[in-house]
Structure 1
């Protein structure tokens, strides 16, 4: 896919992978819609891009604000939004036995429920135009249970499940769905991660600090999206091996797609059982 002239909407765009994706897509000729909670940081990202940008700040948990942003994003350019990147998220660094339920609810709300809500709001637009791409930024932790990240793993596993089912439903719609499973990428993800009481950790991990540079990860992600890869692993070493071991085979994704192509949905909708 050539992204020149396309409109790409990125959530969590104020830093890390989201900001790096914005820089890379801008270099490929896209127009960018940038969303996140911090308008000032989003504006800083936008100021560094040599492309048309629209800054739409909102908290992904605020569904009314999200729906208002969806209306603005789809109306900004003729044809609407070509690519939507569900990237907003927060990680965790605490043992399950110590972690307050409020932390589970917050992480799952941000990393899973809010991403589903944003996709659902944009879905009629893409179905109506008969084309588009959804890119879900999950994690290696969305494929493998990783200690001290039980809430994060639950949310990221759930995001992949939603994306895979959505892809199957949309197989004949002209809309593509991509799942990205990054390993350690050099961002503030660990520093911003929630501890057992819900406070921010405030310090990074060696694995994160020595991880894949965010710009390198962004290039790999966009290259894979352009090649229409459904599941995109961006990791090194042991993390790459773990993600590859749990990769969903293309044959299985094809099998589920054929179920829909062969009338599975219509049969289920007619069924009384």
Structure 2
């Protein structure tokens, strides 16, 4: 049997890019999937493409840390628990550090780092010690290396590595933590991300 068949999966950051691709893939593999993102309209488009009881919509903004506990309980209870959670939400700032405001960098960390940490903490409060849970954390090559014009984004990904590597060392083997480091992927993260002044970047990032 395929690993994903009948697995209970929550994908956070499911409205585009890697998350959107995961939704389509896992529905085909007969997983039961809860999808979350800020953009409810994009989630509804996914459901219209795959009208199935396997797919459940749970709009959520990971920047709203106060709502994460209840949203996590909703995702957990929908299928009576979760087997795999994809911590995939994120935003990018593409600009020189000197041109990027500190407030914008803090906002990025609230989404890319603290939002995902808040979800992980909420999940651990629900998980029983003997149940198996996989956390797949979407990082980046810039989580390993500094990249020009992506200082805050790279820092948030470095922070995810430090936090989740440490969490892995603290917990039992029934919590499996996977740090995913994709290379260049053609997604909208650069298009929908910000310039240093907070306006939309509006263009695709080149690999070179």
In the other structure, the counterpart of 1:196 is 196
In the other structure, the counterpart of 2:114 is 113
- Structure 1 position 125, deviation (Å): 2.1
| Residues 1:182 and 2:182 aligned together | yes
Q: Matches of 1:193 and 1:71 in 2, distance apart?
A: 29
Greater share of helix residues, 1 or 2? 1
- Structure 1 position 205, deviation (Å): 2.4
Paired residues of 2:5 and 2:30 also in contact (CA < 8 A): yes
Q: Matches of 1:167 and 1:182 in 2, distance apart?
A: 20
- Structure 1 position 128, deviation (Å): 4.0
- Structure 1 position 8, deviation (Å): 0.6
- Structure 1 position 108, deviation (Å): 0.9
SS at match of 1:202: coil
TM-score by length of 1: 0.72
SS at match of 1:205: coil
In the other structure, the counterpart of 2:64 is 62
Q: How do 1:37-76 residues align onto structure 2 when only pairs under 5 Å count? A: 37-49=38-50, 50=52, 52-76=54-78
User: Which ranges of structure 2 fall in alignment gaps of 5 or more residues?
Assistant: none
**More RCO (CA 8 Å, sep 6+):** 2
SS at match of 2:199: coil
In the other structure, the counterpart of 1:268 is none
In the other structure, the counterpart of 2:161 is 160
SS at match of 1:59: coil
Paired residues of 1:130 and 1:173 also in contact (CA < 8 A): no
Paired residues of 1:126 and 1:175 also in contact (CA < 8 A): no
Can you list the C-alpha shifts for 1:79-103, whole angstroms capped at 9, x where unaligned?
x111111100001211111111111
Paired residues of 1:26 and 1:51 also in contact (CA < 8 A): no
Can you list the C-alpha shifts for 1:229-252, whole angstroms capped at 9, x where unaligned?
xxxxxxxxxxxxxxxxxxxxxxxx
Bigger Rg, which one: 1
Aligned residues: 206
In the other structure, the counterpart of 1:137 is 138
SS at match of 1:84: strand
Can you list the C-alpha shifts for 1:52-100, whole angstroms capped at 9, x where unaligned?
111110211112322111111111113x111111100001211111111
User: Which ranges of structure 1 fall in alignment gaps of 5 or more residues?
Assistant: 209-273
